[in-house]
Amino acid sequence: MKKATLLACGLSLSIVLGPVLARTPVATGTGGAVATISEQASNSALRILNGGGNAIDAAVAAAATLGVTDPFSCGIGGGGFMVIYLAKDKRVITIDHRETAPAGFTPAAFLENGKPVDFESVVASSASVGVPGTVRGWHEALTRYGSMDFKKVLAPAIEVADKGYQVTEIFSHLTAQNERKFQLYAPTSALYLRNGKAVQPGTLIRNPGMARAYREIAQGGVKAFYEGPIARAIVEAVNKPPFAPGKSARTGRMSMADLANYEARIRQPLRSTYRGYEIYGMPLPSSGGATVAEALNILEGFELSRMPRAQAEHLYIEASRLAFADRNAYLADPEYIDAPVAGLLSKEYAAQRRKLINQRAGRSAAAGDPYGYQHDQSVPLRPQSHRLQLENAHTTHLTVSDKDGNVVSYTFTIESWGGSGIVVPGYGFLLNNELTDFDFSGPHPNVPEAGKRPRSSMAPTIALKDGKPAFTIGSPGGSTIITTVLQTIFNYIDLGMPMDQAVNAPRISERNGEATSIEPGFAGTEQARALARFGHRWEADPEEIGAANALVFNPDGTVTAVSEGKRHGVGTALVQRRGH
Ligand code: GLU
């Protein structure tokens, strides 16, 4: 997550650099629409839409371009979750292409002498690299639901990688934050450092290695990544990391079989309802959909729209706290654990949880007992009440629709800024450190296991009303993803804000921790003071939270694409035809 200074960087950026002024964080029109945090990525999506591609094709094109221009938050070295509304079938599906732990992984992978190892020492190392899922996810998306092949959708990203892109203030700042990690690895230093220091704003970065990787995938398809020279290069980079002279770090283990055996999962979306909307979110192994849905179920019993804003926001914070207590206790990879999701999502269970909320801010809520609300009560798990484990906050989210009504809401990541810090030699992409999303020690449903997917917070969401897409929302930000999505829905539906206001409003993130996270500049405001009267306490070191992107399908048939107006250097929203 970026420091307070970054907000200032983002603001000064829009004054100093000409092209940024042209960025449009809100656009309304007809035909397809796209919102991403990268101007080039939104342009790539629009180019594919204008060339006859559908929303799925355009989403992959945008994602591939983000892999070039925002290489520290996403890329083919990582994984993600895609939620798709298929207009022809009028249904929502999801593609889980989360990274998996290699077959050699064990529950003791992050223990030494029975104690959890230092978190940061695992982050900047190949010990936390999960088997990447992104290319497999794109392949499933394109072959099942797209209309174009890799060759067409990767073309715009290849151009950007070949021609290069200008380093922005934020890019430079993130590189500086990760200098020590990047100094560990020779190919990473070569790409993103100059004489061991972060690239400066304005520098042109070309990435011929990434262009080469994309070309090989365009040529050889999904196998080029999972079985060919790229796979060999990944395995080599994990097992014998390309350390810079004199450097060392922890080392993991991955085999060619780990890559060849990687599978994406087509999963049923998690469906819940909220005040007449159907909310489709990501099921496990992401905790995103379930936690957002539980909190909304709790909120649904309050007449929020008739309350003073502070009262409603107090309830939003408390609902989030309770949902997070359950998330932290129960949720993990569904192929390894029988999590009580049906109980957690029942309206009756939410009614019980709601009773725990009063006029005072809660402190460290305990997990509830959803088992009485499950249809099948045969295998109860004991809740494992863990403190919120350290989680980083990065990633990227994009959203696209097309003229035929298909809609994509897509969040993907390499986990920390710059992932493990390891650029795969010859191929210019960073490997993830997703395995740090496991709980390092148990007992806990989310402990490491071979082949398991670490629990995520990613929450790409599509909401329907009267059977038709109404809006989409998603964000980066580690566990704050959940609160950003939840708060934006609350702002939009309950506080009645237009989506751009709902996105730009100050973010308040309660994850059942010691104090509530807020953004720089919030603490002294009237809004904050009104909440403090309920007893809310703010985290001492505010940071910018998230970078949301959304679409709204308006009653008159137009679509409004919304990106961040201030955060992360301003996003880019585009529509195929502007106006009505
Ligand atoms: N690894 C995180 C997750 O899956 C996303 C990375 C981030 O946003 O920091 O929830």
Ligand 1, atom 4, lies closest to the CA of 456
- CA of 480, closest atom in ligand 1: 8
The CATH number that applies at residue 209 is 3.60.20.40
442 within some domain:
yes
pLDDT of residue 4: 30
Residue 160 lies in a domain: yes
**pTM (2 decimals)?**
0.94
In 3-state terms the chain splits into helix, strand, coil percentages (rounded to 5) of: 40, 20, 45
What pLDDT score was predicted for residue 394? 80
Q: Give me ligand 1 centre to Cα 481, in Å.
A: 8
Q: Indicate whether 143 pLDDT > 70.
A: yes
Q: Is residue 361 part of a domain?
A: no
Tell me, what amino acid is at 469? P
Determine the pLDDT at residue 384.
Answer: 63
377 domain-assigned? no
Tell me, in angstroms, the distance from the centre of ligand 1 to residue 354's CA. 28
Contacts (Cβ under 8 Å, ≥6 apart) of 461? 83, 279, 280, 281, 282, 288, 289, 292, 409, 472, 473, 474, 485, 489
CA angle 157, 161, 162 (to 5 degrees): 115
Ligand 1 atom 7: residue of nearest CA: 478
**Lowest-pLDDT range, 7-11, 472-476, 501-505, 571-575?**
7-11
Task: Determine contact, residues 125/435, Cβ cutoff 8 Å.
Answer: no
Q: What is the arithmetic mean of pLDDT over 8-36?
A: 65
Q: What percent of the chain has pLDDT over 90?
A: 91
Strand, helix or coil for residue 277 = strand
pLDDT at 207: 98
Q: How far apart are CA 366 and CA 335, in angstroms?
A: 25
The pLDDT value recorded for residue 385 is: 58
Which residue has its alpha carbon closest to ligand 1 atom 1? 415
Residue whose CA is at the smallest distance from ligand 1 atom 3? 456
The binding-site residues of ligand 1, defined as CB within 6 angstroms of any ligand atom, are: 392-395, 413, 415, 434, 437, 456-458, 476-478, 481
223 class by beta-carbon count within 10 Å (0-12 exposed, 13-18 middle, 19+ buried): middle
Distance from Cα 478 to the centre of ligand 1, integer Å: 4
Instruction: Determine contact, residues 280/462, Cβ cutoff 8 Å.
Output: yes
Q: Classify 11 as helix, strand or coil.
A: helix
Average pLDDT estimate for 17-28:
68
User: Which atom of ligand 1 is least distant from the CA of 436?
Assistant: 1
| Residue 269 C-alpha from the chain's centroid | 16
Give me the domain span that covers residue 213. Answer: 26-110+117-265+396-578
- The rounded Å distance from CA 359 to ligand 1 centre is 32
CA of 34 to the centre of ligand 1 (A): 22
pLDDT at 148 over 50: yes
Does residue 290 lie in a domain region? no
Neighbour-count burial for 533-551, b at 16+ CB within 10 Å, e otherwise: ebebebeeebbbbbbbbbb
pLDDT at 580: 67
- How far is 357 from 429, CA to CA, in rounded Å? 46
Give the model's pLDDT for residue 7.
Answer: 31
Residue to substitute in 437, 438, 509 for testing ligand 1 pocket (most ligand atoms within 8 angstroms of CB) = 437
For residue 151, give the amino acid letter. K
Which of ligand 1's atoms lies nearest the C-alpha of 393?
Answer: 9
Task: Indicate which residue of 395, 411, 413, 488 is catalytic.
Answer: 395
Dist. CA 179–CA 174, nearest whole Å: 9
Indicate which residue's Cα is closest to atom 5 of ligand 1: 478
457 closest CA partner among 288, 336, 300, 319: 288
Give pLDDT, residue 96. Answer: 98
pLDDT at position 569, please? 85
128-132, 190-194, 232-236, 390-394: least confident range: 390-394
Average of per-residue pLDDT across 211-225: 98
pLDDT value at position 376?
A: 53
Nearest to residue 85, comparing CAs of 489, 553, 556?
553
Ligand 1 atom 8: residue of nearest CA: 478
Token duo for residue 54: 């559908």
274: amino acid identity, one letter: Y
> Residue 277: inside a domain, yes or no?
no
Instruction: State pLDDT tens for residues 458-513.
Output: 999 999 999 999 999 999 999 999 999 999 999 999 999 999 999 999 999 999 99
Determine how many CB atoms are found less than 10 A away from the CB of residue 360. Answer: 11
Residue 291 lies in a domain: no
pLDDT interval class at 16 (50, 70, 90)? very low
| 271 vs 6 pLDDT, higher one | 271
Q: For residue 132, report the distance from its CA to the centre of ligand 1, in Å.
A: 14
- Predicted confidence band of residue 403 (pLDDT cuts 50, 70, 90): very high
* Confidence band for 562, pLDDT divided at 50, 70 and 90: very high
Over residues 344-357, the pLDDT tens digits come to 999 999 999 999 99
Q: Encoding tokens for residue 10?
A: 């983002």
Does residue 108 carry a pLDDT above 70? yes
Domain count, the chain: 1
Catalytic residue status for 472: no
Q: Is residue 19 part of a domain?
A: no
Instruction: Return all residues near 118 (Cβ < 8 A) that are at least 6 apart.
Output: none
Across 325-338, average pLDDT: 97
Model pLDDT, residue 392 = 55
Q: What is the pLDDT of residues 163-200, one digit of tens each?
A: 999 999 999 999 999 999 999 999 999 999 999 999 99
In the chain, pLDDT over 70 holds for what percent of residues? Answer: 93
pLDDT, averaged across the chain: 93
